[in-house]
Amino acid sequence: MHHVVRRPFLRQILHRSYSMSLPYATEKQVAVAAVRRACHLTSSVFNKLVKNETLTKGDKSPVTVGDYAAQAVISTILHHAFPSDFIVGEEDAAELREESGAGLRDRIIALANEALTGELGLGDNVEWGIGPGQEKTTEQLLDAIDRGNHPGGRTGRMWTIDPIDGTKGFLRGEQYAVCLSLIVDAQVQLGVIGCPNLLVDPAEPDLGRGVIFVAAKGHGAEQMRLSGANPTPLKIPSILPSEFSFLESVEAAHSSHSFNDRVSTLLNITHSPVRMDSQAKYGCLARGQGAAYLRMPTGVGYREKIWDHAPGTILVEEAGGVVTDSRGLPLDFGLGRTLGENFGVIAGGLGVHARVLEAVQTAGTEQEAKAKA
Ligand SMILES: Nc1ncnc2c1ncn2[C@@H]1O[C@H](COP(=O)(O)O)[C@@H](O)[C@H]1OP(=O)(O)O
């Protein structure tokens, strides 16, 4: 009798301390498992279709194949674990449902099923629709891709998926990222960024490549191996690095290199910027590689997408840094699928961010004066 009375109480206490320690513990496990499988998928697409050039001329780009298949995998896992959550994903399956899309569709379904049915790994759970024997039908996988059509907004639980962020880097065999975030009532609660090509430790190249960055609101940021092993907390150094360099896009069309040059000059930075595709830049910043990430628009009209910044923003903030737009305003993830009125992105450690913001505003004023003259 004594035993029967005590057990629920104990369970209650255990549950309370567990949920106090990490309110989105299950979401974190599911998100890491989904990103890990998608990373293996995109690496295998690269090895099969890009490196070995097995695509024929009429085939769709390997990016398209990887993008669709990775979104199908992540969305399927999320739907099994959290059936009522919404998803804001980059892709929809309209093209794959057309008669002319049959070849592409078959390839994507095969890849997605291969990724979903792989052996269970560290922390995996069969209830998330993964593991041997868990094949899905074509219709189920196309529906999974289409579930990414949520318009976003200020209220509710929604996941953002960018199945291959940094498509140019993916094709060059350089950096790209598989990105996932959970947003609740417009606040990012969880961010996971898988970087299959990123060195585990730039100081020790022998450790190899393949990293997953994870951050949960109020609970810090960490880096782990693709397998989930070796979770290591991340903290942006609070002092100004002696070798200050910016992280910036490789693609000049995505971020103004000349504006960054001017900001560097204003800050007396002598080191060249580190150019890298995708949200791997946020990951590098969070682990102290590069002092700030600066992304200024190259023209008017392009609106940044929430899936391109939600995981990176929480990662940098949880590592002790600050992320704002070029006016110093927080990024607003509650305006729909884009960041709306936010103009540019500045990310950096606490002190560094303030200095970069000041220099960005000076460079902006100069630019406006020049345009008027
Ligand atoms: N004109 C643009 N300005 C800023 N970002 C852009 C622009 N065009 C595309 N992007 C986005 O930049 C991201 C990659 O950024 P990075 O240069 O840091 O690797 C992609 O998600 C891409 O979106 P999309 O996938 O719609 O092409």
Instruction: Look up the CATH number of the domain holding residue 121.
Output: 3.30.540.10
Residue 240 lies in a domain: no
> For ligand 1, is residue 275 a contact (CB within 6 Å)?
no
Residue 123 lies in a domain: yes
> Are residue 224 and residue 257 in the same domain, yes or no?
no
> Are residue 120 and residue 171 in the same domain, yes or no?
yes
Tell me what the mean pLDDT of segment 11-33 comes to.
71
Question: Where would I find the H helices in 46-135?
Answer: 62-81, 94-97, 102-116
210 CB contacts (<8 Å, ≥6 apart)? 39, 195, 196, 197, 198, 200, 225, 226
Which residue's CA lies nearest to atom 5 of ligand 1?
A: 254
Residue 178 lies in a domain: yes
pTM: 0.93
> Are residue 301 and residue 155 in the same domain, yes or no?
no
Nearest to 259 by CA among 351, 332, 356: 356
Pairing of strands 187-199, 177-184: antiparallel
Which residue's CA lies nearest to atom 17 of ligand 1?
A: 249
CA 106 to centroid of ligand 1, rounded, Å: 28
> Are residue 284 and residue 220 in the same domain, yes or no?
no
Which residue's CA lies nearest to atom 25 of ligand 1?
A: 165
> For ligand 1, is residue 251 a contact (CB within 6 Å)?
yes
> Are residue 207 and residue 340 in the same domain, yes or no?
no
> Are residue 50 and residue 196 in the same domain, yes or no?
yes
> Are residue 173 and residue 85 in the same domain, yes or no?
yes
Exposure on the CB side of residue 298, measured as CA atoms within 13 A: 10
Nearest to 174 by CA among 276, 245, 255, 45: 276
How big is the chain by its Cα radius of gyration, in Å? 21
pLDDT the model gives residue 20: 52
* CA dihedral (49, 50, 53, 59) positive or negative: positive
| Number of Cβ within a 10 Å radius of residue 227 | 12
Residue that finishes a domain, picked among 233, 255, 288: 233
pLDDT of 37 over the 90 cut: yes
Whether residue 70 contacts residue 38, with contact meaning beta carbons closer than 8 Å, is answered with: yes
Of 57-66, 75-84, 175-184, 199-208, the one with minimum mean pLDDT is: 57-66
Residue with tokens 């509710």: 156
pLDDT of 125 over the 80 cut: yes
Nearest to 28 by CA among 219, 173, 257, 202: 219
Nearest to 189 by CA among 169, 215, 165: 215
Calpha distance 159→161 (Å, rounded): 7
- Higher-confidence residue of 13 and 210: namely 210
> For ligand 1, is residue 181 a contact (CB within 6 Å)?
no
> Are residue 62 and residue 100 in the same domain, yes or no?
yes
Range of the domain at 141: 23-233
Query: Domains in the chain: how many in total?
Result: 2
Pairing of strands 292-295, 345-349: antiparallel
CA 297 to centroid of ligand 1, rounded, Å: 10
Active site residues: 67, 167
pLDDT in tens, 127-151: 999 999 999 999 999 999 999 999 9
Residue 239 lies in a domain: no
Helix (H) or strand (E) run with residue 128 in it: none
> For ligand 1, is residue 67 a contact (CB within 6 Å)?
no
Whether residue 37 contacts residue 180, with contact meaning beta carbons closer than 8 Å, is answered with: no
Calpha distance 362→247 (Å, rounded): 20
Residue 13 lies in a domain: no
> Are residue 301 and residue 190 in the same domain, yes or no?
no
For residue 366, what is the domain's CATH number? 3.40.190.80
Residue 69 lies in a domain: yes
Nearest to 159 by CA among 85, 106, 97, 98: 85
Residue that finishes a domain, picked among 186, 202, 233: 233
> Are residue 110 and residue 214 in the same domain, yes or no?
yes
Greatest Cα pair distance in the chain? 87
> Are residue 199 and residue 78 in the same domain, yes or no?
yes
**Average pLDDT, whole number, for the chain?**
91
Closest atom, ligand 1, to C-alpha of 250? 17
- The amino acid at 350: L
> Are residue 125 and residue 192 in the same domain, yes or no?
yes
- Interface confidence, given as ipTM, is 0.97
Residue 11 lies in a domain: no
CA 176 to centroid of ligand 1, rounded, Å: 12
pLDDT in tens, 245-286: 899 999 999 999 999 999 999 999 989 999 999 999 999 999
Which residue's CA lies nearest to atom 10 of ligand 1?
A: 254
Residue that finishes a domain, picked among 233, 268, 285: 233
